[in-house]
Amino acid sequence: MSTVLVTGGTGYIGSHTCVELLNNGYDIIIVDNFCNSSPDVAGRIEQITGKKVKLYKCDLCYDVEKLDEIFKENKIDAVMHFAGLKSVSESIKFPILYYENNVFGTVNLCKAMEKHNVKKIIFSSSATVYGTSSFAPYDETMPIGDVSNPYGRTKYIVEKLFEDLCNSDALWNVVILRYFNPIGAHESGLIGESPKGIPNNLMPYISLVAAGKLDTLTIFGKDYDTPDGTCIRDYIHVIDIAKGHVCALSGITKLSGVNAYNLGTSKGTSVLELINAFQKMTSRKVRCTFGERRKGDIPVVYANADKAYKELGFKAEYGIEKMCIDAWRWQCNS
């Protein structure tokens, strides 16, 4: 048994990962400032798993003394670092906020870890770090960093920070997980993604239109060089993402230094295919219209997920249909 400190553990991906960790016999300690989540989520994690969750309200940027106390009070074996801001459009408007929260917050976390001799960390990165210099399928040997927005650059900088840390001290052990497009929710309908205001991402938007809470989905572009003219993404069930973290945690001790893995399905799905699958699986109509291309969108993004399979034994299990059913169940409960 070992204890994992989960930053951002009441958020969308963090909460699902907490469930998987508890179900696999780990103890967890959640640290979150609730800027994009609610403390109630911890109770829901307990309800799903029947296990206790230790929860601390703590901001990685401003509550450094509290963070130090948390490391003092608990015997922590490894950290999973989900805490961060994640909106591309918001990061373009408020770059300082993004650099501060995502980079400075991570620096504070690393300082506390170093002080308390906890040197194993799994970090939430994004497929966005591959940028525009390579083409799908993206694999981990491809260059990173040619990113067009501040959010993506914060992920790139933190990846490099971990590389430098591992070069400076061989006891650091870092797994970087580059998520493709996580969607769906826990089967219980108790936890899922709760975007504030009008969502930027496709699946939450589809769900809100299907629920009658938003009027029409605008499909951004219909003239891409893809079979149906709409953009292609690698959608992966959030439970698969969570399971990928458990595989990374059990694999981390066999690794040394910094290692990056894609978490994707290796399968591309177009915007129209996702809408059609959602309509079929939920029997709900999603009213759509075509609009202009969204600035910065890459036409085709999907993973080569072989490395995670070969080295961590992780393979995504769930298909688009289940992602749609689970996303809709969560929407109906929200």
**Least CB distance from residue 87 to ligand NAD, whole Å?**
9
- Determine whether 151 is an active site residue: yes
Find the binder of ligand UFG among 88, 177, 272, 325 (CB under 6 A): 88
Q: For residues 72-111, which are near ligand NAD according to CB under 6 A?
A: 82-86, 101, 105
Under the binding rule (CB under 6 A), the answer on residue 275 touching ligand UFG is no
Partner in contact with 88, chosen from ligand UFG, ligand NAD, none, beta carbon below 5 to 8 Å by kind: ligand UFG
Q: Which residues contact 48 (CB under 8 A, 6 or more apart)?
A: 19, 186, 188, 190, 191
The item of ligand NAD, ligand UFG, none sharing an interface with residue 13, based on CB under 5 to 8 Å by kind, is: ligand NAD
Q: How far is the CB of 283 from ligand NAD (least distance, A)?
A: 26
Q: How far is the CB of 201 from ligand UFG (least distance, A)?
A: 3
Rule CB under 6 A: say whether 271 interacts with ligand UFG: yes
Under rule CB under 6 A, residue 301 binds ligand UFG = yes
Contact with ligand UFG (CB under 6 A): which of 231, 241, 249, 308? Answer: 231
Query: With binding defined as CB under 6 A, does residue 205 bind ligand UFG?
Result: yes
Q: Name the residue with the smallest CB distance to ligand UFG.
A: 231
Of the residues 218, 250, 256, 333, which one makes contact with ligand UFG according to CB under 6 A: 218
Rounded least distance, CB 233 to ligand UFG, Å: 5
- Which lies closer to ligand NAD via its Cβ, residue 263 or residue 325? 263
Closer residue to ligand NAD, CB minimum distance, 54 or 222? 54
Size of the site for ligand NAD (CB under 6 A): 27
Contact 150/12 with Cβ under 8 angstroms? no
Active site (catalytic) residues = 151
Contact footprint for ligand UFG (CB under 6 A) = 86, 88, 126-128, 152, 180-181, 200-202, 205, 217-220, 231, 233, 271, 294, 297, 301
